Chain A
Amino acid sequence: DIQMTQSPSSVSASVGDRVTVTCRASQGISTWLAWYQQKPGKPPKLLINTASALQSGVPSRFSGSGSGTDFTLTISSLQPEDSATYYCQQGNSFPRFTFGGGTKVEIK
């Protein structure tokens, strides 16, 4: 199984700050990497697919990059509504998927 490791596990930042979340795959996954945002009591919401493709309706302050084993989710200017837990997911071993452990983003 491909393992996905996210860091940090949590981050606290102020409104307007730039926030970066990292995801590392245990083996190369090309760009088959997705990012999700999850708020309490809700299902995950797909933000970014194939490492950098923003889903329709997702604010442009969210961006993704990377290929192979190392990937990054960036929030360029943190907003109050971005408080959530973010997960990465590899799709290289389709149809079997694996998720990272999550990064909790909090607003100071």
Chain B
Amino acid sequence: QVQLQQSGPGLVKPSQTLSLTCVISGDSVSRNDIAWNWIRQSPSRGLEWLGVTYYRSGWTNVYALSLESRITINSETSKNQFSLHLDSVTPEDTAVYYCARGSFRALDVWGQGTTVTVSS
């Protein structure tokens, strides 16, 4: 049974970096037919896909165009996890953040969610 366990702070100050980690159990971050995603949800934006990392013959990261200048997703095979880093956050980045496994162009396993508030 695949499970995703998220961790990271629930409060981030404006202009700082939001960092979250998603630890995978029951699957491999380097499996070559799966993609590992970050999504967020807020009342104002709804469900918003943020980015993905996946391994085929090498690692590929793809980001939402609106966030490309601020976002980094990376993977750590030794710990079987992947991480989200979002720079220069503002209160508009306040949301529930989810990691999720992508398979057949859908998201079939989700983390528990992390509520992140951007406030001083």
Q: Give Cα A32–Cα B106 distance, bound, in whole angstroms.
A: 8
Q: Does B2 contact A (CB under 8 A)?
A: no
Please tell me if the beta carbons of B106 and A91 are within 8 angstroms of each other in the complex. yes
Closest B residue, CB atoms, query A42? B113
Closest B residue, CB atoms, query A44? B110
Closest A residue, CB atoms, query B6? A43
Contacts of A50 in B (CB 8 A): 104-106
Q: Does B82 contact A (CB under 8 A)?
A: no
- DSSP majority for the B interface? strand
Q: Give Cα A96–Cα B105 distance, bound, in whole angstroms.
A: 9
Q: Does A59 contact B (CB under 8 A)?
A: no
Given contacts A1-B65, A97-B107, A99-B47, 20 further A-B contacts (CB under 8 A): A34-B105, A34-B106, A34-B107, A42-B113, A43-B100, A43-B111, A44-B47, A46-B107, A49-B104, A95-B37, A95-B54, A95-B62, A96-B62, A96-B64, A97-B105, A98-B49, A99-B46, A99-B48, A99-B49, A102-B46
Q: Does A55 contact B (CB under 8 A)?
A: yes
Q: Give Cα A11–Cα B117 distance, bound, in whole angstroms.
A: 31
Q: Give Cα A89–Cα B49 distance, bound, in whole angstroms.
A: 10
Q: Give Cα A49–Cα B106 distance, bound, in whole angstroms.
A: 7
Contacts of A98 in B (CB 8 A): 49
Q: Does B52 contact A (CB under 8 A)?
A: yes
Top 10 nearest A-B pairs by Cβ distance? A91-B105, A43-B110, A34-B106, A99-B47, A97-B49, A49-B106, A95-B52, A95-B62, A46-B108, A94-B105
Q: Does A101 contact B (CB under 8 A)?
A: yes
Contacts of A34 in B (CB 8 A): 105-107
